Amino acid sequence: MSNAKVNRGLDFSQWKGVWVITEQRRGKTMGVSIELLGEGRKLADKIGTTLTAVVLGDGMTDEVEALAHYGADQVLFVEDALLGVYTTDAYAKVIGELILERQPEAVLVGATTIGRDLAPRIAAKVGTGLTADCTVLDVDESDKKLLQTRPAFGGHLMATIICPNNRPQMSTVRPGVMQKAEYQEDACAIETIKGNLSEGDILAKVVQIVEEARHGVPLGEAEIIVSGGRGIGGPEGFELLKSLAEKLGGEVASSRACVDSGWTTPDKQVGQTGVTVRPKLYIACGISGAIQHLAGMSESDTIVAINKDEHAPIFDVAHVGLVGDVHQVIPAIIASLKA
């Protein structure tokens, strides 16, 4: 029987439980996994089912034990020497087989570089659909189906997608959007199983991992962000933003316009096609507030906008608005911080 026939039909009563496919790099759990566990818990409670955290790796006992404290009903740890480092073939094979065997009704994967590679391959293996890059998840009260919402048409509308004829319902979820699960004193049960992989299961091998040199914290984890748009005038404008960020102990980010102009690097881009951030303070300098930019920062606790156009849309989401030229306002703020 082909995989596609196994999970197609109208009777899904055997498909139960929400799974979060957690992500690890070098044996360390990534923050997106805790966010997905927070969201997965809410969905499982609304459906009235269980939440399972799925971990693939090799000898990462401490991390697996730690994951048992983040609200899941069970941690399912697949251990194998060939799962220590992510490879598409091995991960898709193991998770695909587990899904067909244990039949979860919903599977959440982070929309990270790894998740974006992995989730479609799992979906193809088990013969289901995939809603990529979700920013909102909910459950339909009447039939307990997953409501998966994601930006569509360049972010101009939000599309809510359901998966009526297949199981599991699969979503990749943007990092930085969902609330992290809280640490709990009580730990859930951990089931450890062997991966049973052989070298022949892995077609592409990882030969070497080269870490990118990074200064400061990743944008997704920064508490203070000073972000520049086209209004800062050029690459030299980022030196001004750096001075302000250093004074505040924050990180520098940007709109896509500055990345496209080569003023800064793509890892600094906030927005729909960049990073989603939720800092305590986001200072938008010379950024107009296009919908695609707002998609990545509007959940910040406090937004300060500096723009010379009083009608700029960024002021619609700002808690504090300063109408003026960034080249006058930012040096004035730095001077007052020094004082």
Q: Which residues are annotated as a binding site for FAD?
A: 230, 255-256, 269-273, 286-293, 307
What is the footprint of ligand FAD within residues 222-241 (CB under 6 A)?
229-231
Sign of CA dihedral 27, 28, 31, 35: positive
- Contact map string, positions 286 to 315, toward ligand FAD, x by CB under 6 A: xxx-x-xx--x---------xxxx--x---
**Between 66 and 290, CB nearer to ligand FAD:** 290
**What's the min distance (Å) between Cβ of 274 and ligand FAD?**
4
Tokens in use for 65?
């034990």
272 binds ligand FAD (CB under 6 A): yes
Identify which of residues 243 and 255 has a Cβ nearer to ligand FAD in the complex.
255
Size of the site for ligand FAD (CB under 6 A): 27
**Which residues make Cβ contacts (< 8 Å) with residue 271, sequence separation at least 6?**
255, 256, 290, 292, 293, 294, 295, 296, 297
Among 102-110, 136-144, 188-196, 284-292, the segment contacting ligand FAD (CB under 6 A): 284-292
Stretch that binds ligand FAD, among 15-23, 34-42, 163-171, 271-279 (CB under 6 A): 271-279
Which residue's CB comes closest to ligand FAD? 271
Site string for ligand FAD, 241-270 (x = CB under 6 A): --------------xxx-----------x-
- Kindly tell me which of 7 and 264 has the beta carbon lying closer to ligand FAD: 264
Is the CA virtual torsion 55, 267, 157, 322 positive or negative? Answer: positive
How far apart are CB 289 and ligand FAD at their closest, in Å?
7
Of 40, 110, 176, 274, which lies in the binding site for ligand FAD, with binding defined by CB under 6 A? 274
Binding flags for ligand FAD, 144-183, as an x/- string (CB under 6 A): ----------x-----------------------------
Separation between Cα atoms, residue 13 and residue 97, nearest integer Å: 19
Pattern 7-36, ligand FAD, x by CB under 6 A: ------------------------------
Residue 272 CB, nearest approach to ligand FAD (Å)? 4
Interface with ligand FAD by CB under 6 A: which residues?
Answer: 154, 229-231, 255-257, 269, 271-274, 286-288, 290, 292-293, 296, 306-309, 312, 325-327
